[in-house]
Amino acid sequence: MQFKTFIISIGFAVAGCVPTYVGDPADLAELAVKKSNANLTVASTQKTTEKLAAITALAGKWSVMRGEGQTPCALQLKTTQFGGNYAASSVCSGEPNVWSWNMRQDALLLFDHRSKVIASFHESEGGNWREAREGGDPALDLVRLGD
């Protein structure tokens, strides 16, 4: 069995697939495990406790208040992962519909089905959120509804 392992190792080494190793295969496996455990890194998608608390606090039913005379639309922010964001659902007339949301740098972002930002809100007084728009365009407001 050792001869067969040796021949296979030589074949891979000649092909440039793996470095040659002379010794017990169990030692090689143990070394590989130690090496992989030594290089543990935190995944970039791992959420911090604070961000998870903020996401949970914002999840729920909201009303998107538009300009005067326009009907508000219902928005539900969920804690379910949706790609790199969180799932959302909206009942709004017009385009685009909200498919997901996330928090980035103290801004609440709403995304369409292509993960393109369609609105960005910053917290205002009373726990509500106001859209961050430049230029004088009428801004949207997010008002929390009773759960």
In a domain, 23, yes or no: yes
Q: Answer yes or no: do 55 and 87 share one domain.
A: yes
Residue 96: asked if its preceding bond is cis (omega within 30°), the reply is: yes
What confidence tens digit (pLDDT) does each residue in 60-117 have?
999 988 777 778 889 999 999 988 899 999 887 766 688 999 998 889 999 998 899 9
Domain that residue 31 falls in: 2-38
pTM value? 0.63
Q: Answer yes or no: do 64 and 17 share one domain.
A: no
Asked if residues 77 and 62 have their Cβ atoms less than 8 Å apart, the reply is yes
Q: How many domains does the chain have?
A: 2
- Look at residue 11 and tell me whether its pLDDT is greater than 70: no
